[in-house]
Amino acid sequence: MKELLPGRRQPRGTRHVAGRFLALSLAALAVGIILVTAGCAGITPATLPGNAPGQISADHPVRVSEGKPLSVFSRQEAFSIHQVITEDSATSRTIVWQSEQEEKDPFVEYRALGADGTPSGELWAQGARRNERFAEDGKTSWIHTVKLTGLRPGTAYQYRLGAGSRRGPWLSLKTPAGPRFQALIFTDSQSARYDTWGKVAGSAWSRHGTADLALVLGDLVDNGQQDAQWRQWFRQAAPLVTSIPVAPVLGNHETYTLDWQVRMPEAYTRFFPLPALPERWQRQYGSQFYSFDVGEVHFTVVNTQFRELEKFEPHLQEEQLAWLRQDLRQTRKKWKIVLMHKDALQYGFKHRQTPRAEGFSDEGKIFLPVFDEFSVDAVLSGHLHSYRNRGHIRNFRRDASGPLYIMAGLSGDVRYPDLWRDHALDERVLPQPETDNYMTLDAAPDRLVFRTYLPDGTSVDEAILDKP
pLDDT digits (tens, 9 = 90+) for 177-187: 999 999 999 99
Q: Are 70 and 273 in contact (CB under 8 A)?
A: no
Residue 9 has pLDDT above 60, yes or no: no
Residue 25 has pLDDT above 80, yes or no: no
Neighbours of 83 (CB within 10 A): 24
pLDDT digits (tens, 9 = 90+) for 352-382: 888 899 999 999 999 999 999 999 999 999 9
Residue 13 has pLDDT above 90, yes or no: no
Least confident of 51-65, 75-89, 371-385, 387-401: 51-65
Neighbours of 71 (CB within 10 A): 12
Summarize the confidence of residues 320-341 as an average pLDDT: 98
Domains of the chain listed by start with CATH number? 37-174 (2.60.40.10), 178-466 (3.60.21.10)
Q: Tell me which range, 27-31, 418-422, 463-467, is most confidently predicted by mean pLDDT.
A: 463-467
Share of the chain above pLDDT 90, in %: 81
Residue 97 has pLDDT above 70, yes or no: yes
Would you state the pLDDT for residue 55? 73
Q: CA 384, 226, 2 angle in degrees (round to 5)? A: 25
- Listed residue (98, 189, 151, 117) closest to 382, CA to CA: 189
Whether cis (ω within 30° of 0) applies to the bond prior to 428 is no
Q: Are 345 and 356 in contact (CB under 8 A)?
A: no
Summarize the confidence of residues 453-464 as an average pLDDT: 97
Summarize the confidence of residues 299-317 as an average pLDDT: 97
Would you state the pLDDT for residue 414? 95
Residue 28 has pLDDT above 80, yes or no: no
Would you state the pLDDT for residue 26? 33
Residue 5 has pLDDT above 50, yes or no: no
* Amino acid occupying residue 88: D
Residue 294 has pLDDT above 80, yes or no: yes
Choose between 44 and 3: higher pLDDT.
Answer: 3
pLDDT digits (tens, 9 = 90+) for 117-172: 999 989 999 999 999 999 999 999 999 999 999 999 999 999 999 998 899 999 99
Neighbours of 394 (CB within 10 A): 16
Choose between 427 and 69: higher pLDDT.
Answer: 427
> CA-to-CA distance for 123 and 290, rounded, in angstroms?
32
Would you state the pLDDT for residue 75? 83
Residue 23 has pLDDT above 50, yes or no: no
Would you state the pLDDT for residue 6? 30
Summarize the confidence of residues 7-22 as an average pLDDT: 37
Would you state the pLDDT for residue 432? 82
Choose between 39 and 70: higher pLDDT.
Answer: 70
Residue 456 has pLDDT above 60, yes or no: yes
- Listed residue (58, 61, 54) closest to 40, CA to CA: 61
> CA-to-CA distance for 314 and 311, rounded, in angstroms?
6
Helices 316-330 and 362-373, packing angle to 10 deg: 20
Residue 1 has pLDDT above 70, yes or no: no
Summarize the confidence of residues 224-246 as an average pLDDT: 98
Share of the chain above pLDDT 70, in %: 88
Write the DSSP assignment of 109-168 as a string of letters: EEEEB-TTSSB-S-EEEEE-SEEEEEEETTEEEEEEEEEE-SPPTT-EEEEEEEETTEE-
Residue 2 has pLDDT above 80, yes or no: no
Q: Are 458 and 438 in contact (CB under 8 A)?
A: no
Helix, strand, coil shares, percent, the chain, to 5: 15, 30, 50
Name the average pLDDT for the chain.
Answer: 89
Residue 386 has pLDDT above 90, yes or no: yes
> CA-to-CA distance for 427 and 421, rounded, in angstroms?
13
Would you state the pLDDT for residue 68? 60
Would you state the pLDDT for residue 229? 98
Residue 8 has pLDDT above 70, yes or no: no
Would you state the pLDDT for residue 30? 32
Residue 20 has pLDDT above 70, yes or no: no
Residue 88 has pLDDT above 50, yes or no: yes
Summarize the confidence of residues 377-391 as an average pLDDT: 97
Write the DSSP assignment of 298-349 as a string of letters: EEEE----TTTTTTT-TTHHHHHHHHHHHHHHH---SEEEEE-SS-SEE--B
pLDDT digits (tens, 9 = 90+) for 50-69: 444 457 999 999 999 876 65
